[in-house]
Copies of this chain bind each other. A is one copy, B any other.
Amino acid sequence: MSKAQKVLVAGAWRDSQASGTFEPDNPTTRQATGERYPVSNEAEVLEAIEAAALASEELRAFYPEGVARFLETYADRIEANADEIVSMAATESGLPAPTRLAAIELPRTTGQLRQAARAARTGSWCLPTIDTASNIRSLYQALEGGVAVFGPNNFPLAFNSVSGGDFAAAIGAGCPVIGKANSSHPGTSRLLAEEALEALKAMGLPPATVQLIYRTDHAVGAKLVSHARIGATGYTGSRSAGLTLKATADAAGKPIYLELSSINPVYILPGALQERGESLADDFSTSCLLGAGQFCTNPGIVVLLKGDTTDSFIQQVKERFEAAPVGTLLARGVETGLSHSVATLQQAGAELLTGGQAGAGKGFSFSNTLLHVTGATFLQNPEALQTEAFGNESLFIVADDVDQACAVARHFEGNLTGCIYSATAGTDDDAYNRIAPLLRRKVGRLLNDKMPTGVAVVPSMNHGGPYPATGHPGFTAVGIPASLRRFGMLSCYDNVRDDRLPAELRNKNPGGVARLVDGVWSTGDVPA
């Protein structure tokens, strides 16, 4: 049996105080990769929390410039070591190395790190607000303590707990990170953390600014997110595990940001199908099967109105699903989860149009699967029929009319996204105007005539949404600078001398930070 890999705790790689070990799988072969990783015990996690809390105090002296330079140096080092990192990520995730990992996900990852650096340096995230008559000033500043980051399985780089969106946001805000690697890609996380530590050393930052553990048991995980010395938690993953952590963090008054589940309803109205049905069948099939459907924003429900164009569309999608290759799933748990979810949907009244077979492709896999249900049946059992089936699957709901399509929208839980396709000629506008206001408040991002799978890293992006998509509808996990504010506390300075203020709030504003001064956004100085 191979020796367990080391953890990165308190600034050094060292043997874990392990309560056990685990081996990740290669999903393409369904066999273990041969590496062994430790399950950290409580003492080790408590030590990481304490080291992060100390680093949180020390880091202030390096904020923002030192922190920004660390993020940039780290991004450079990831690029310099891209081949090794991508190769490991491909082995652990089964995702295609050249197209997906090297060409898309790695540049996205380093881009996010550099955007977070820029947000820290320019103060764009911290909303500096100054009222001169009362001499009261405020901004967002790093909250106290480290941030625990639990990354998901589906983006081994761009949402990795030590390089992804939550990591970039927490560090960019000035918070140390305790990364809890996703169990399906611990090796990728290890290689990334090695680069992070070297970048910290090169910049002279507290080395405990980035720590990495691989797994804990449930009780120790609960301690991590609720400890008095932890600042906050970012979690992306399964709903059940997330809600268990949420209950513990909430009870301790510790912020926890969760991305839990989303079925991302798509309405395709009759006029749009009439205008461009074939092309919509292409777009939908491509979006739904991309990456074997393993995106948080995968279109898991399509609402259609009964009629001939809908019948044709369903047939066209069915043909495409049957013709498309079956992708490899990220992990054994995804294959079994998808099997269970499809069974649950069928038990709730959905009928299989195609697919439904586990192990239909290379490695962990599930055949491309379509289900359908009438609007009336959905309305009889809306909760079970919103079971998330994470993977290459979608459920078509065929409503009798616009009234029923609206009723369906009223029954949706909170989602990350919702889409409406309508005719360019305006023939769907009445239906749009009735459905859109209902769908709007159920989703974080409303799309028109566009599939939800792409998530641009731009300031206006919202990768969030009402519960249970996330834990709070006011925050986004993607989109800089907004994502940094999750890890800030609102910090007001009342009658504090200019030289004691943080740079962003002083009268002189040599960096040209955008500030709300007496109610007006300005990049200039404030008269002394």
Contacts and interface: CB of A to CB of B under 8 A. Distances in A.
Interface of A: 57, 60, 124, 129-131, 133-134, 136-138, 140-141, 143-144, 246-247, 250-255, 414, 417, 432, 436-437, 440-442, 444-450, 456, 458-462, 464-468, 471-476, 479, 482, 485-486, 488-497, 500, 514, 516, 519-521
B461 A500 contact: no
A475 B490 contact: yes
A389 B16 CA distance: 46
Contacts of A495: 447-450
A250 B255 contact: no
A57 B60 CA distance: 45
Copy number in the complex reads 2
A473 B495 CA distance: 21
24 contacts: A60-B437, A124-B519, A129-B460, A131-B456, A133-B458, A136-B456, A136-B458, A137-B460, A141-B440, A143-B441, A143-B466, A255-B473, A417-B494, A432-B500, A446-B491, A446-B494, A448-B493, A448-B495, A459-B519, A473-B490, A474-B488, A474-B490, A476-B490, A514-B521
Contact of A460 (B138, B468, B474, B475): B138
A444 B491 contact: yes
Contacts of A485: 474
A368 to B, nearest CB: 26
Given A253-B468, A467-B254, A456 B490 contact: no
A524 to B, nearest CB: 12
A462 B448 contact: no
Given A254-B467, A474-B486, 6 more contacts: A134-B458, A141-B440, A252-B467, A445-B492, A449-B495, A474-B488
